[in-house]
Amino acid sequence: MTIILDAMGGDNAPDAALKGAVKAAREIESNILLVGNEQVLLKRIKELFGKDNIEEVSTKLSIYNATEEIVMEDIPTDAIRHKKDSSMVVGFNLLKEDKGDVFISAGNSGALLTGATLIVGRIKGIDRPAIAPMLPAYKKGLMLIDAGANTNCKPNNLVQFAQMATIYLRNNYGIENPAIGLLNIGTEPTKGNELIKETYQILSTKGTELGINFARKCRRKRCFFR
């Protein structure tokens, strides 16, 4: 596997990305391709690790040059469309061209989602992307989806998030039938706004048909919430 890493994305870039990549290279078998301004990266590699190039630090690491950078203050759509040689846009294009298996960035989340949609494209049948972090929980982990990518959703969006979470947890965590919850102000079907109530009805009546193990009160061991 090749991991494409946005070396210029995030508040503490490129140092945090470089240190994280070096640590990961010691713990995993994957190759890591750092995308960013090569001159800047080589200078920091010298200062941080005392090496002239990243391959001397680890043979699993390499650099792909990108001269521009998308910063947190950039407007997402404008940044993706106009900063063609930014580390994020270049990284997405490398992913689209099958030059890597996954793209990771700690940069502008709005630009990240915009780039994922406009450059890489959505999975067929999925209308919107979603942010899905794993959260610490008592004894077990907890996935939160969507965690801020979308402000106005429709019931079908939430149902699609439930399907994506189910597939992700099954394929990546080995949880064959993960329990899926719906975050609301109460457990009763009559609670919440129209979006939540309609989504609840769909998950209750069609969840099994859609491959979703809907836990109405989420008392199971593993759940995700929206």
Q: pLDDT tens for residues 74-88?
A: 999 999 999 999 999
Angle among Cα 112, 28, 129 to the nearest 5 degrees reads 20
Is 126 part of any domain? no
Is 8 part of any domain? yes
Whole-model pTM above 0.85? no
Q: What is the pLDDT of residues 15-32, one digit of tens each?
A: 999 999 999 999 999 999
Q: What is the pLDDT of residues 106-133, one digit of tens each?
A: 999 999 999 999 999 998 889 999 999 9
Beta partners for residue 1, in sequence order: none
User: Where is the domain boundary, 120, 153, 173?
Assistant: 120
The whole domain housing 29 covers 2-120
Give the total number of structural domains in the chain: 2
* Alpha carbon of residue 208 to chain centroid: 26
Q: What is the pLDDT of residues 139-189, one digit of tens each?
A: 777 899 999 888 899 999 999 999 999 999 999 999 999 999 999 998 888
Q: How confident is the model at residue 138 (pLDDT cuts 50, 70, 90)?
A: confident
Residue with tokens 């995993």: 28
Residue with tokens 């793209």: 103
Q: Does residue 224 have a pLDDT over 80?
A: no
Alpha-carbon torsion (31, 33, 34, 40), positive or negative: positive
Could you tell me where the beta strands, DSSP code E, fall in 83-186?
A: 102-104, 134-135, 142-144, 179-180
Q: How far is CA 103 from each of CA 47, 96, 113, 199, rounded to the nearest angstrom? A: 26, 10, 12, 31
